[in-house]
Structure formats: structure tokens, C-alpha cells
Amino acid sequence: MVPIQMVDLKRQYNKIKPQVDAAIEEVLNSTAFINGSAVQQFSAELQTYLGVKHVIPCANGTDALQIAMMALGLEPGDEIITPSFTFIATAEVIALLRLKPVFVDIDPKTYCLDISAVEKAITSKTKAIVPVHLYGQVADMEPLMALAARHNLYVIEDNAQAIGADYTFADGSRKKAGTIGHIGCTSFFPSKNLGCYGDGGAIFTNDDEIAAKLRMVANHGQSARYYHDVVGCNSRLDSVQAAVLRIKLPLLDQYIEARRAVADAYDAGFADVPAIITPYRAENGYHVFHQYTLQLEGADRNKLQEFLASKGIPAMIYYPVPAHRQKMFADFGGAEFNLPVTDHLTHRVISLPIHTEMDQEQLDYIIQSVKTFLNTPA
Ligand SMILES: *Cc1c(COP(=O)(O)O)cnc(C)c1O
């Protein structure tokens, strides 16, 4: 059996090696390492794929979130509502900009923002909401946008884990995750659903004015060459990464289907296991399974993790400590937030390997191993 990894980038690369190598070589020969034609071409292609007016490439997903918040003219002390059950970057940039992270609980089924909890957390200082499409599931954007509109708030989607996911509105219309809020942010970290071969990120918006600000902030606050209007930063997607992404973007839908097939196999394999709650799939979102994260009931997930490791199967805890309980946020009153669903799930979730290259033999072996640990008959 091929050794099992959380993400098998090597086998994925081998399938597209000639195209990727040629594209990288083209950049090397052009020596246009920064802002080369691959960067503009990729941005235009991603715009088309997402059906969004502007794509602003940047250096990574964390920068994307930071630039988004810098572009909105927020002031120190402004409150930003966000889940605590997320990768730290979402909340970190809020604190970095001296804004106030206001952590709210999540829906126990979708693992995404609980809209009623968001509503309760809104104060006169609230300026923005940052939903996270965790594990590839799209947060419930339609009621969230309606709530934001009623309170005149910005919505910045953290779409680092859900690029390519669709969201269906009540009227049947559809939009891509990341293009529904005022701004969407994503990451091209290698293990993400659309990953490059280094660091990369992008910001999306349909708003011309916001787009102009995002571009300015990402480029030293520059309005014309060497004229700097606002304090910005330096955040770029380099040409080599854009060249790799141009090869992979046309494969994204195929990659998503491969991930969903893995999720289907796990779902079927665990359907009769009482100790396992398989991931919920919201009806209005097309889950792209960045992670396959289950909940264990009445079994020790750390012991399962150790057992699987002894069988050569990696499994991960995303994430072992929620943001509000990180030392980083002690000075922000992190521990004072009361987030029972977040705390509960933090102790129960475990993520199994999922990627585009998994085969039936690996899946059968993982499913059987989990069942053996839980003493479920085959
Ligand atoms: C990966 C990730 C980020 C940050 O992306 P980087 O490119 O690593 O900076 C932000 N938010 C979420 C939810 C992520 O998964």
C-alpha cells in the first residue's frame, strides 16, 4: 500500500509535473519573478472561475486578511466578530491591527459561525464580521449578510479552506464562497485545496472602491509610483507561484470531486458506527472537504490518534486550542468569552487524511483501523 499522508502533494505533483516544470522554467527564462505575466493571467483566470470582479493576489492568506482589514478604515478598538474555532490567523490579524476580536460560538453541526450568536454580540463598536468557511463548509452567508446589512457592518470571508465551494441562496441563485461578503480572502498554502509550491494568497471583491484600496494597501499604500497615500504593506504573489497556480486552477473542480469521493467513502464506512459523528453537509453549501473532521462520542480521540499512528495512519486535531483560549489573547480577555460549543468540539474532533490522491486500499485500511479501535464489527 502507498504510505498514507494527511496530504499527498508528491503524487499530485507527479501527475502534472511536465506542465508545472515547463511553466516554472518559463518564469525562470523570463526572469520576471515579481509581477510577471503569470501573476496577471492567474488573477484574471481566478476572477473568471469565481465570478468575481476583482482578484488581488498577495503573499499569503494571513496577509489577505490583514490587508482586507487595513483597507476598510477600521480604528483601534473597533470590534470584529469572528469564531474562535478556526486557524489562529483569522483572529491574530484582528489583534495585530489593535482591533478587538469578539469571539462568538459556532453551530454544532456546520462548525461555522452561529448567526444568532453573532447577532447577540453586535454592539455600537462592531464594524465587521469575519466568517470562516471551516474545513470546506460554507458558513450560512445569506442570513449573515442580511444581519450585516441591518447593522451596517462589513463582512470579510475567510475562505482559506473553501475555495471553489458554492453557496446557494433561497432564490436558487449561487455564488462561490469568498465572493458573497464585501471582501473574501484565501490562501494558496501548499496543503490548501488550491495550493501553490510555496506561500501565496488572494483577496476578492466586487466593489471597485474597496478593490482600489486593497491594491493600494498591498503595495506600500502607493497611489502612483513612489507616491504613498496610506500606510500599507508589501504583499505579493510571486510569478513562480502564479505559474504553478495557473496549471492547478483548471484542475480545482476535479480536486474537489476527489476530496468529496473520499468523504463519501468515509461517511459510508462509518455510517454504522455509533461512536462517530460524521461531518454534516449544509444543504445550501457545497462542501469541498479541506478536512474530513469527525466527532467521537464516548471514545478518547487522543488514544485513537495514537492507535492510528501505530498503524501508519496520520490523524490531526484541528485545532487543539481554540483562539479565545490561546495565551496570545489573554490581554484581550480571551478566556472571558463563554463558548460552550467551541469548547465541547475542541475536545472531540479529529481529522482523518483527505487529499486528491487517496486510493480505495488506503481508505479501506483507514476505515477498518478506526473501526478496530472502536471495537465495531467489520
Ligand atoms: C491557512 C489558513 C489561513 C492562513 O493562510 P496562510 O497562507 O497560511 O497565511 C487563514 N485562515 C484559515 C482558516 C486557514 O486555514
Give me the helices (H) in 219-316, please: 239-248, 252-270, 301-310
Q: Is 178 in the pocket of ligand 1 (CB under 6 A)?
A: no
pLDDT digits (tens, 9 = 90+) for 322-335: 999 999 999 888 88
- Using H for helix, E for strand and C for coil, what is the string for 119-138? HHHCCCCEEEECCECHHHCC
pLDDT computed for residue 162 by the predictor = 98
Buried b (16+ CB within 10 A) or exposed e, 329-367: beebebeebebebbbebbeebbbbbbbbbbeeebbebbb
Model-level pTM?
A: 0.97
4 in Cβ contact with 353 (< 8 Å): yes
Give per-residue pLDDT as tens, 82-121: 999 999 999 999 999 999 999 999 999 999 999 999 999 9
What is the best residue among 67, 96, 158, 203 to mutate for testing ligand 1's pocket, by most ligand atoms within 8 Å of CB?
Answer: 158
pLDDT band at 351 (very low <50, low <70, confident <90, very high): very high
Q: Is 90 in the pocket of ligand 1 (CB under 6 A)?
A: yes
The pLDDT value given to residue 375? 85
Stretch 243-253: mean pLDDT: 98
Residue 70 has pLDDT above 80, yes or no: yes
Residue 378 has pLDDT above 60, yes or no: no
- The pick from 69, 161, 194 for probing ligand 1's pocket by mutation, whose C-beta has the most ligand atoms within 8 angstroms, reads 161
Domain assignments of the chain as residue spans, ordered by start: 9-104+111-249, 251-373
Residue whose cell numbers read 445569506: 142
Q: Which atom of ligand 1 is nearest to the CA of 134?
A: 13
Q: Is the shortest distance between the CB of 286 and ligand 1 below 6 Å?
A: no
Task: Select the CATH number that applies to the domain covering 9-104+111-249 from these four: 3.40.50.1220, 3.30.2130.30, 3.40.640.10, 3.90.700.10.
Answer: 3.40.640.10
Ligand 1 centroid–CA 367 distance in Å is: 29
The three cell numbers locating residue 109:
453541526
For residues 256-272, average pLDDT: 97
Residues taking part in catalysis: 192
Q: Which numbered atom of ligand 1 lies nearest the CA of 62?
A: 9
Q: Is the pLDDT of residue 311 over 80?
A: yes
* Other C-beta atoms lying within 10 Å of the C-beta of residue 123: 11
What's the CATH number for 251-373? 3.90.1150.10
- Give me the torsion for CA of 325, 126, 213, 180, rounded to 10°: 80
The identity of residue 331, as a single letter, is: D
Pairwise CA distance, residues 194 & 255, whole Å: 8
pLDDT of residue 332: 87
Instruction: Tell me the mean pLDDT in the region 137-161.
Output: 98
H or E segment at 167? strand 166-168
Q: Give the orientation angle of helix 360-373 with respect to helix 301-310, to 10 degrees.
A: 130
